[in-house]
Amino acid sequence: MSSLPGPMKLSGGKYTNVCHHDSKADAEEYGEQRQPELWAKTSVYLPGYFLSNFLTHPMAQPTKKQKGNIQFANNLDLDTKIPLTSHDQDSGPFSKALIQNPPETSVVGYRAWITPREFIQVFSEVTGYETELLHIPPGEFSFDCKPELRAEVQDNFGFANEIGLHGGDDSPAVHPNELNLPPQLERVED
């Protein structure tokens, strides 16, 4: 099963607007509580932040400045560790790894566990562009965020900064290197 940590529950009700996370967490909880026989055979894949967002999503896309340098701007704290994954390349290997592990295993799926600062260094080294990272304060946006999405985006970043996109240090999900036969993935640099 693919799921995500539930910000509302994990934050004690502080982050109530991250619907795409909470709906998956609710489905996971439903399976565990209402379908125990099925759940005893189930494992959970919690994918990290999609690297493709840096290409396709306005909140993550870099901008080229007049001097030719590249700027990334977002609401993540610059030293917050984030799990980065290439969903189209990594989901299959994680699914295979979960099948090769005991049922009821949960794994945070990522190929890199790095901070925004570290990601910018990698980006600069790989592309050769001088790159800078701008931290945008909570409630402000570096892109044209539609009013109906503002609360969700703001709570999503708040949750990531305070608890972590992986669900926090108390999460029952393991890291990839803790699996029996961990998946072999490319690096972010690749």
Per-residue tens of pLDDT for the chain, all 190 residues:
999 999 999 999 999 999 999 999 999 999 999 999 999 999 999 999 999 999 998 889 999 999 999 999 999 999 999 999 999 999 999 999 999 999 999 999 999 999 999 999 999 999 999 999 999 999 899 999 999 999 999 999 999 999 999 999 889 999 999 999 999 999 999 9
Spatial CA neighbour of 9 closest among 135, 154, 163, 149: 163
What is the predicted pLDDT for the residue at 93?
A: 98
What is the predicted pLDDT for the residue at 34?
A: 98
Distance CA 171, CA 174 (A): 8
What is the predicted pLDDT for the residue at 124?
A: 97
Rounding to the nearest 10 degrees, give the CA dihedral for residues 173, 179, 182, 188: 30
What is the predicted pLDDT for the residue at 59?
A: 87
Q: What is the DSSP string of 119-180?
A: HHHHHHHHH---EEEEEPPTT--SS---HHHHHHHHHHHHHHHHT-TT--TT-SPBPGGGSS
What is the predicted pLDDT for the residue at 45?
A: 98
Domain ranges within the chain, ordered by starting residue: 7-178
The CATH classification number of 7-178 equals: 3.40.50.720
Name residue, tokens 């109530």.
Answer: 16
Q: Residue 56: is it exposed, middle or buried by C-beta count within 10 angstroms (0-12/13-18/19+)?
A: exposed
What is the predicted pLDDT for the residue at 89?
A: 98
Distance CA 180, CA 177 (A): 8
Q: pTM score, two decimals?
A: 0.93
Distance CA 130, CA 107 (A): 35
